[in-house]
A and B are shown apart, each in its own frame.
Chain A
């Protein structure tokens, strides 16, 4: 998910140029940049605006509208936890509280050591195996507090 490398204008331009010909290219470009850098640097705004003939405000407005796009680099691991109704019915709230306490962050925050970013998500489509979480793009089901601990420990070991 996240990358070690920081922002790089040349690499950003290359990704933009690959996609700028698409109809409605803005979202594909933003996804490509986030894949590349783990977030969308504000330096990307003028580059995209120039490529797509949009105003800076239009580009910024789109970035800020969507929950997915981050404004700063995430932690090494991104843990998305579903807090929608099906997961609630299976006790996701207490599991999420457990994870927040363990990592010392609230949903939407990154741990001080930059190891974990914890995000709320509303439905991962795994409602038959609730509660569900997604860790670094991998989906998990029936995630109790114990399973969440195991996933976090495992991610730390992989670090």
Chain B
């Protein structure tokens, strides 16, 4: 049997040269006439070690990283195929503390298997959830999901089982399952990783959802910024059709489930579920009024389950091991695991799947190792561009939906962006408003107009023009956005803005700095609020 070497095909690994490493590896294998199979796996999620390659040995898989193409011949010379020492050797992959201390349920296979090998998937526990689901009634499947306590991992945290029940109980000639793969929040990449690293788990989860609510058709709406994940999904779906896991007779059950993947077009707002549905229908991605809920009138006016990638990819293990098993992880009303994504200025940035309840500090320091720059940490933004900026003093907040809400923050999709002491929170607040202005769908006035006014007001605050009045005006504006916006974009953009003012007031009271685009005036520069 030939030796197996694993080199990730995950887009992040490719972004730091994994393809060049794979090519160098293939060249060495050929010139040394070795019997080695190169498997392109998903990423283990330890991105500071990418490209991280592994070799299968009798002791287990041994990791080396970060490996550059230039280092490959030296690895062969050192005997890495036998797992021998080398300065890049990280030992047994499973024993790396970062990985060992995780509780990988949703990501159980990611980085281990060949993402496009259905036999790998099945031999690592894949399709066991579907098998169980096919033996249950629809009501029992929904019951199991409800019992698991799973809440929407896209950010809103709505109980998945309740959503499914609504769709199940709404009679219609056609129902849909839609996967929201428009992972647009900065600091998040868990959806991308699972779509590239274990696409069948998402396909299986959607198939189970379809069977549970009697929907025969599904769509994955993926953002265009993820071309690798898009291609992987397309290939995985074709394989699933070919092997009878999709189509008119899912796994020989006589039940139909069709699945297609659709590409978004660069609109952040299409991560909002009703905008996403409009976009899937071929329209401008403008949000819809709710009610009616998509569960009652969703895609093409039909009852539709809309769930995030991670929610759906967690369904197979819930069905396989039972809702009770999943529920035993976590704290309070946040059950199961959270896929924490450490991002930005953090030394060991990567994916950490852990039961809810770990604190921000533990995530950032115990796993992340502090800032990448080595400078003091100053601010943390969790939950994407609509999430609050937390100061050091709030780092003991547990990662739990309610704990974040109590501190006027948002856990969202689990992305954590770390900033060091060079960050200017007034600039970050301005960026939040600017982002909202760029990405507003334009349907409601508070968001469409308020965001642009917000940028202007913050510019005046930074320039120290009537600073106190403008701070008050900004507060008013944020209240209008919170209360008057139709969806979460306008409704939550005050989170980053107001948290920046609340926790970092000194950044809004500095000597005036010139606006970034229009140049400066000497007079402004010398003015100081103090």
* Chain A contact residues, CB within 8 Å of chain B: 23-28, 30-31, 52, 58, 61-62, 65-69, 80, 82, 84-90, 121-130, 132, 134, 137-142
Contacts and interface: CB of A to CB of B under 8 A. Distances in A.
B300 A23 contact: yes
Given A125-B189, A127-B343, A129-B47, A89 B265 contact: no
A27 B262 contact: yes
B227 A125 contact: no
Contacts of B418: 89
The 4 A-B pairs with the shortest beta carbon distances in the complex, nearest first, are: A26-B282, A84-B186, A127-B343, A66-B265
A129 B45 CA distance: 11
Using C-beta atoms within 8 Å of the partner chain, give the interface range for chain B: 35 or more
Contact of B344 (A67, A124, A127, A139): A127
Contacts of A126: 11-12, 15, 189
B248 interface: no
Given A27-B282, A65-B267, A68-B265, A123 B11 contact: no
A125 B192 contact: yes
Contacts, number: 155
A71 to B, nearest CB: 14
B428 A85 contact: yes
15 contacts: A24-B280, A52-B282, A62-B282, A88-B431, A89-B345, A124-B225, A125-B11, A125-B12, A125-B188, A126-B15, A126-B189, A127-B344, A130-B343, A138-B14, A139-B228
Contact of B415 (A82, A127, A140): A127
Interface string B400-423: 000000000000000101111001
Contacts of A90: 344-345, 372
Contacts of A26: 282-283
> For chain A, what secondary structure do more than half of its interface residues adopt (helix, strand, loop), or is it mixed?
mixed
Nearest to A132: B15
A123 B225 contact: yes
Nearest to A65: B284
Nearest to B221: A27
B185 A141 contact: no
Nearest to B285: A65
Contacts of A130: 343-345
B344 A85 contact: yes
Nearest to A97: B516
B185 A123 contact: yes
Interface string B1-33: 000000000011011100000000000000000
A122 B439 contact: yes
Contact of B343 (A28, A128, A140): A128
B224 interface: yes
B266 interface: yes
Contacts of B282: 24-27, 52, 62
Contacts of B185: 123
